[in-house]
Amino acid sequence: MATIELDTTKNAVPFDKANIPGPKMAKPVQAEMAGKFISKAKRPLLIVGTAAGDEGVIEAVRSMAEKGIPVAATGSSLKRLKEEGIDATYVNLHALVSYLKDPDWKGFDGKGGYNTTIFLGHTYYYASQLMSTLKNFTKIKIISIDRHYHPNAQQSFGNLKPDDFLKALDIVVAQL
């Protein structure tokens, strides 16, 4: 098990200062716990945004995809993922949250919906708003392993420095 000293729960304040949705806000999570949580998920879906193509982040996406976690490529992330040979399905994030809300949606593989969503590489305010759909209208677990604290997730990293963020991703991946 990787034992890098890194506290990912610090600085857990919304990255848009006023983005305080209400009494229920994400629990700040340590990278190791996040990794364990993801590894235990029954039907996880990794939802990546355009910044998932960034150096250091794409490696984490690849690792998770290789562990069998299906990847939903939102925004324009698909181009980079394809270039890297990572298997992913394009979907519009706004449409995706409406699908996830639908008990009859069969998922990308036809095997049914997902019980855990993992967010990575998103435009902050965009993902935050769309997480609020899942938070308010579904029972789906939401975990953010993005660089900034996401109050609408259930678990989220605090706001991280770029280097720490990449280290945190390494720790997550090591748990899978």
Residues that bind another protein (CB under 8 A): 13-17, 21-24, 49-50, 74-76, 78-80, 82-83, 89-90, 92-95, 97-99, 101-102, 104-106, 122-126, 129-130, 132-133, 135-137, 159
Nearer to another protein, 40 or 79 (CB): 79
Q: Closest Cα partner for 55 from 163, 174, 173?
A: 163
Nearer to another protein, 65 or 173 (CB): 65
d(CA 47, CA 26): 17
Task: State the nearest-atom distance from the C-beta of 126 to another protein, in Å.
Answer: 4
- The total of other beta-carbon atoms located within 10 Å of residue 36's CB is 15
d(CA 82, CA 86): 6
Task: State the nearest-atom distance from the C-beta of 121 to another protein, in Å.
Answer: 10
Environment class of 83 (CB within 10 Å of its CB; exposed 0-12, middle 13-18, buried 19+): exposed
Helix H or strand E encompassing 62: helix 57-66
Using DSSP, state whether 146 is helix, strand or coil.
Answer: coil
Task: State the nearest-atom distance from the C-beta of 156 to another protein, in Å.
Answer: 15
Nearer to another protein, 73 or 173 (CB): 73
Task: State the nearest-atom distance from the C-beta of 17 to another protein, in Å.
Answer: 5
Nearer to another protein, 4 or 95 (CB): 95
